[in-house]
Copies of this chain bind each other. A is one copy, B any other.
Amino acid sequence: MSVAHDTNAEPKQLEILERLQSLCGENDLPDLEAKLADLAAFVGSDLAPIDEALRAVSGERAAHQGAAHLLSLGGKRLRPICVALAAKLGRGFDERALSLAVAVELVHAATLLHDDVIDMADTRRGKPTARAIWGNSVSIYAGDWLLIEALRRVSAVGIPDLLTTLFDVIDEMIVSESIQLESRGKLDVDRDRWHRVAEGKTAALFRYGMRAGGRVAGLSDEEIAALEAYGSHLGFAFQAVDDVLDFGGDPERTGKALFTDLREGKATYPLILAVEREPSAAALLRELVDASEEELAAGMGARYSEVLALLERTQALEDARAFAFEQADRAIAALGRWPKGPAIDALTTVARAAVARRA
């Protein structure tokens, strides 16, 4: 199969462009839209076979259908884009890099299938979750299956340290999810814990995607370390924006209701800032986390406006976004060893878009 010369590359590029542009608001960085067009032109022909490979992940059993359903919900495919762009800094995006790009997205999808069971989530990206359609059991087995499919691909690439590193990354992800689970509902505002959870839950897989792309494309250990730093900062930026969108996103675009994290008692970045600055607000948040669905329906839901006022007063949302921008800057700075070029431009755009995104 020729990866680089897919005949459907043209329409694909448009689709990718739309998908990426849809992330941005109208008043974002003025040149972001043009930059995203450049990015889509640069990686569009690589994303086409990634999407094709993800569509080909299927089977006849319920577990396979659940997995295919999640993958069909789309998503930004930022992790495979990271693999592709890192590879383009070296020997280029070849068959093995494609396998790794697909594997990274499959690991991500596997964690979502298990997370949806744990969060009892009925919708994701505005569509019913696999567990809502086929039940928790299917979602659990579907996640198990995708994990194996991902590891199988990485193993087949034949670079042993990429497999052992992925074991470590998945381990980190499980530990972080476990920490988050243990502190769920407690709303402990602990910035160190936020960093630890975000590192394992989000940064680790971005970091791994950058490593995988660089490693398969023959980059040096020093270059790979720089790419990992990019991936890690990008992950922190991404998670901070995710946290902000719990309070300010447009549910139609994010596919996720407002205040979902708050309801689950997750200490998101803006809440941590707000309570650090106004400790007495902890009581309000506590009440909302503990409130029953009935109490919320019976008027208590109006108290969410008090949360928004708190966030406004304490400048928590702005400062959480500022933290994300700072992380994006650090991600871009980590690429300083490379001269300007289309791959570096594209990675720069990814970091800018990840924090400017509204969905």
Contact residues of A with B, CB < 8 Å? 59, 61-64, 114, 117-118, 136-138, 140-141, 143-145, 147-148, 151-152, 155-156, 160, 163-164, 167, 170-171, 174-175, 177-179, 181-182
Show 18 residue pairs from A and B whose CB-CB distance is below 8 angstroms, ordered by the A residue. Answer: A59-B175, A63-B174, A63-B175, A63-B178, A63-B181, A114-B141, A114-B144, A118-B137, A137-B181, A138-B181, A141-B174, A141-B178, A143-B144, A144-B170, A145-B171, A148-B170, A152-B164, A156-B164
Contact between A178 and B148, CB atoms less than 8 A apart = no
- Docked complex Cα distance between A240 and B37 (Å): 61
Given A114-B141, A117-B140: A171 touches B155 (CB 8 Å cut-off): no
Contact between B181 and A62, CB atoms less than 8 A apart = yes
Please name 4 further chain A to chain B contacts, defined as beta carbons within 8 Å, in addition to the given A62-B178, A117-B137, sorted by A numbering: A114-B141, A141-B174, A141-B177, A148-B174
- Which chain B residue has the least Cβ–Cβ distance from A166? B148
Residues of B within 8 A of A136 (CB): 117-118, 136
Contact between A175 and B61, CB atoms less than 8 A apart = yes
- Which chain B residue has the least Cβ–Cβ distance from A135? B181
| Residue with the highest number of chain B CB atoms closer than 10 Å, among A114, A137, A141, A151 | A137
- Docked complex Cα distance between A62 and B180 (Å): 10
Contact between A114 and B140, CB atoms less than 8 A apart = yes
Residues of B within 8 A of A170 (CB): 144, 148
CB < 8 Å: which of B145, B155, B167 contacts A148? B167
Min CB gap A137→B, angstroms: 4
Residues of B within 8 A of A141 (CB): 114, 118, 174, 177-178, 181
- Docked complex Cα distance between A138 and B177 (Å): 10
Min CB gap A142→B, angstroms: 9
- Docked complex Cα distance between A305 and B314 (Å): 68
Min CB gap A233→B, angstroms: 25
Contact between A171 and B148, CB atoms less than 8 A apart = yes
- Docked complex Cα distance between A353 and B317 (Å): 65
- Docked complex Cα distance between A82 and B175 (Å): 32
Residues of B within 8 A of A178 (CB): 61-64, 138, 141
CB < 8 Å: which of B140, B151, B175, B181 contacts A167? B151
Closest 5 CB pairs of A and B: A61-B178, A63-B178, A118-B137, A152-B167, A145-B174
- Docked complex Cα distance between A143 and B138 (Å): 15
Contact between A164 and B174, CB atoms less than 8 A apart = no
Residues of B within 8 A of A59 (CB): 175
- Which chain B residue has the least Cβ–Cβ distance from A118? B137
Residues of B within 8 A of A137 (CB): 117-118, 181
Min CB gap A130→B, angstroms: 12
Residues of B within 8 A of A117 (CB): 136-137, 140
